[in-house]
Chains A and B, each alone.
Chain A
Amino acid sequence: MAYLEIRNLKKQFGNTRVLHGIDFSMEKGEVVAVIGSSGGGKTTFLRCLNFLEMANEGTIDFADGFRFDAAKTYKSKEIREMRLKMGLVFQSFNLFPQYTALENVYIPLFLRSKERIKASLPFGKERRAAIKAAGDGDMQRAEALLQEVGLADKMGNYPCQLSGGQQQRVAIARALAQDPAVLCFDEPTSALDPELTGEVLRVISELKNKGRTMLVVTHEMEFARNVADRVIFFADGLIEEEGTPEQIFCSPKSPKTASFLKH
C-alpha cells in the first residue's frame, strides 16, 4: 500500500466543479511537484488534503491505516486530528504577527501537547508537571526546527521584522513541528521577491535530503525539474499527466501539458 493514497477525489463549490475525480498516490520520502495553470484545481486539491475544504466524494488513505471517506461525516475533533497528519505551508505565510518566530513554532505545538496530556492525566500535580515537561520539550523542538531552517539568530524576531523568505522559513518550521506525514506547499515562493525564492527552495531541497514526504504546488519550473521525484500536471480539475521531471518537461504526451510548458 502506498504511503498516501487518494481515490476519486471530487470537489465542487455550488455548481462549479473544481476537482473531477483525482486519483493519486505517494510513497514515503517522495517529493511530488504539482504544476498547472491557475484555476486548474491545484490549490483546491491541497486544501482538500488538509481538510480546509471537505471533499464531496472520494477517499484518502494514510499509511497509519486511517481512511478519510467523504461520504462519512466527521466530528470537529476528528477533523482536527486528520489535519495534523498533513502539514501546509501557505503562499502568504500566515504567520501570527503578535508572536515571535519561536512562539509561532512553539505555541501551536504546545497546545496539542497540552491537549494530549489533559486527556490522559487527571487534574492535579502530576498533570501540571507533565505539561511543564512537555512545554520544555516543545520549546527545544521549536528551537531545533528554526535552526534547521537557518534562523537560529532570528528566533526572537516578530514576523514584521523578517524578510518574506525568512517568514516563509518560519512557516515551514511551524508546519514541520507536529511531524506531518506529508508536508504540502501551496506556491511557497509566489509571494516572494525573486532574490528571496532561493533560500526557501533550498530549505525544501534540504528537507528532501532528510527524507521528508512533500507535495509542492509550484510555478518554479526549475525547482520542479531539479528537486521533484515526480511531476503531476493539473488541468481542468484532473491530473492530465504525471511522470518523472524528464518525461514531463522533455517529452510531454498531452498537448495541454506541452502548451502549458511552452509559456
Chain B
Amino acid sequence: MNFWDISVKLLDGFGITCLLFILTLVFSLPLGLIISFGSMSKFKPLSWLCRTVVWIIRGTPLMLQLFVVFYVPGMLFGVRLFTGDDGRFLAALVAFVINYACYFSEIFRGGIESIPKGQYEAAQVLGMTARETFFTVIMMQVVKRILAPISNEVITLVKDTSLARVIAVGEIFFVNEMDFLSRGLVWPLFYIAVFFLVFVGVLTLLFGWCEKKLSYYKV
C-alpha cells in the first residue's frame, strides 16, 4: 500500500462523503423550513406534532437513527427498503436529512421569531400577502441572522457523515479502515484529518464570504 493507492481510495471515499453532505443539505434545508413553519403553526396539533418529532430526533443519537432507518423496516415489516450499496447510501441519506432538518428547523424558528413584529405590520399595512411578506421582507433578514448558527451545523454535518460508516456506507472512513487497522499504518488517519480540515476550511471561507456579502445592511 503506497501513498498513491491510499490517495485514490481516500478520494473515492471522499466522493461519497461529499455526495452525502451535499444531498443532505439540499433536502434538509427546505424540509427544516417546513418543519419550522409546522412548529410555529397556530393549529395546535400540527405544532405539537412537529415539536415532538424535533424533540425525539434531537434527543436520540444520530447513530441510533441510522440503525433504525436501515434495519427497522426489514425487521418490523419484512420489507427490505434499502439493498445494496445504493440502498445503504439512501438509508444514510434519509437518516441524515431527517436529523438535520430538525436541527435546522429550530434555527429557522429562532431566526423567524427574532424578526421584529413591526416588519410584519409594515408589510401588512402596505397590502402584502403573507407569502409576499415572508419572501420579500422576512426571509433575507432571517438568513442574515441565522448564518452563523447554520454554518456551525453545516460544519458539524461534514464530520457527522463519517457516522454513515456504521451501516457500511463507503465513505472516507469505511474505505480506509483496513489500512490503519490491519496494516498498522498511522499516517492515513492524519491524511483523513487533512481532508476534513480542508473541507471545513473551504466552508468557513464560504460562510465568511456570505456574511460579508450580507453586511451591507443591519437588522
Spell out A's residues near B (CB within 8 Å). 50, 52, 76, 80-81, 83-84, 86-88, 90, 92, 94-98, 107-108, 111-112, 158-160, 171, 174-175, 178
Nearest residue, chain A, Cβ from B121: A52
Complex contact B121–A94 (CB within 8 A): yes
Contact of A83 among B124, B132, B216 (CB under 8 A): B124
Beta-carbon contacts under 8 Å, B99-122 to A: 116, 118-119, 121-122
A-B residue pairs in contact (CB < 8 Å), sample of 9: A81-B127, A84-B126, A90-B121, A92-B118, A94-B121, A96-B123, A112-B126, A158-B216, A174-B126
Give CA–CA (A108, B136) in the complex, Å: 9
Q: For B212, what are the chain A residues with a Cβ–Cβ distance below 8 Å? A: none
Q: Say if the beta carbon of B140 comes within 8 Å of chain A.
A: yes
Q: Say if the beta carbon of B77 comes within 8 Å of chain A.
A: no
Q: Say if the beta carbon of B141 comes within 8 Å of chain A.
A: yes
Complex contact B122–A94 (CB within 8 A): yes
Nearest residue, chain A, Cβ from B125: A88
Closest Cβ of chain A: how far from B136's Cβ, in Å?
6
Complex contact B216–A175 (CB within 8 A): no
Q: Say if the beta carbon of B129 comes within 8 Å of chain A.
A: yes
Q: For B136, what are the chain A residues with a Cβ–Cβ distance below 8 Å? A: 96, 107, 111
Beta-carbon contacts under 8 Å, B31-74 to A: none
Known: A94-B118, A98-B141. A178 touches B217 (CB 8 A): no
Task: Given contacts A52-B125, A76-B130, A94-B116, list 14 more A-B pairs with CB under 8 A.
Answer: A50-B125, A81-B127, A83-B124, A92-B118, A94-B121, A94-B122, A96-B136, A96-B137, A97-B141, A98-B140, A108-B123, A108-B127, A158-B217, A171-B122
Q: Say if the beta carbon of B158 comes within 8 Å of chain A.
A: no
Complex contact B119–A80 (CB within 8 A): no
Q: For B118, what are the chain A residues with a Cβ–Cβ distance below 8 Å? A: 90, 92, 94
Complex contact B126–A97 (CB within 8 A): no
Q: For A174, what are the chain B residues with a Cβ–Cβ distance below 8 Å? A: 126
Nearest residue, chain A, Cβ from B219: A97
Spell out B's residues near A (CB within 8 Å). 116, 118-119, 121-130, 132, 136-137, 140-141, 144, 216-219
Complex contact A97–B127 (CB within 8 A): no
Q: For A160, what are the chain B residues with a Cβ–Cβ distance below 8 Å? A: 217-218
Give CA–CA (A160, B140) in the complex, Å: 16
Give CA–CA (A2, B32) in the complex, Å: 52
Known: A97-B141, A97-B218. A84 touches B119 (CB 8 A): no
Complex contact B125–A175 (CB within 8 A): yes
Among B122, B136, B219, residue most surrounded by chain A Cβ atoms (within 10 Å): B122
Known: A158-B216, A158-B217, A174-B126. A94 touches B140 (CB 8 A): no
Contact of A94 among B119, B127, B219 (CB under 8 A): B119
Q: For B119, what are the chain A residues with a Cβ–Cβ distance below 8 Å? A: 94, 96
Q: For A86, what are the chain B residues with a Cβ–Cβ distance below 8 Å? A: 125
Nearest residue, chain B, Cβ from A177: B126
Complex contact B137–A87 (CB within 8 A): no
Give CA–CA (A84, B124) in the complex, Å: 9
Q: For A87, what are the chain B residues with a Cβ–Cβ distance below 8 Å? A: 125
Complex contact B125–A83 (CB within 8 A): yes
Nearest residue, chain A, Cβ from B216: A158
Give CA–CA (A128, B125) in the complex, Å: 27
Q: Which 5 A-B pairs have the closest CB atoms?
A: A94-B122, A108-B126, A94-B118, A160-B218, A88-B125
Contact of A90 among B122, B127, B219 (CB under 8 A): B122
Q: For A88, what are the chain B residues with a Cβ–Cβ distance below 8 Å? A: 125
Closest Cβ of chain B: how far from A263's Cβ, in Å?
28
Give CA–CA (A97, B118) in the complex, Å: 12
Give CA–CA (A39, B201) in the complex, Å: 55
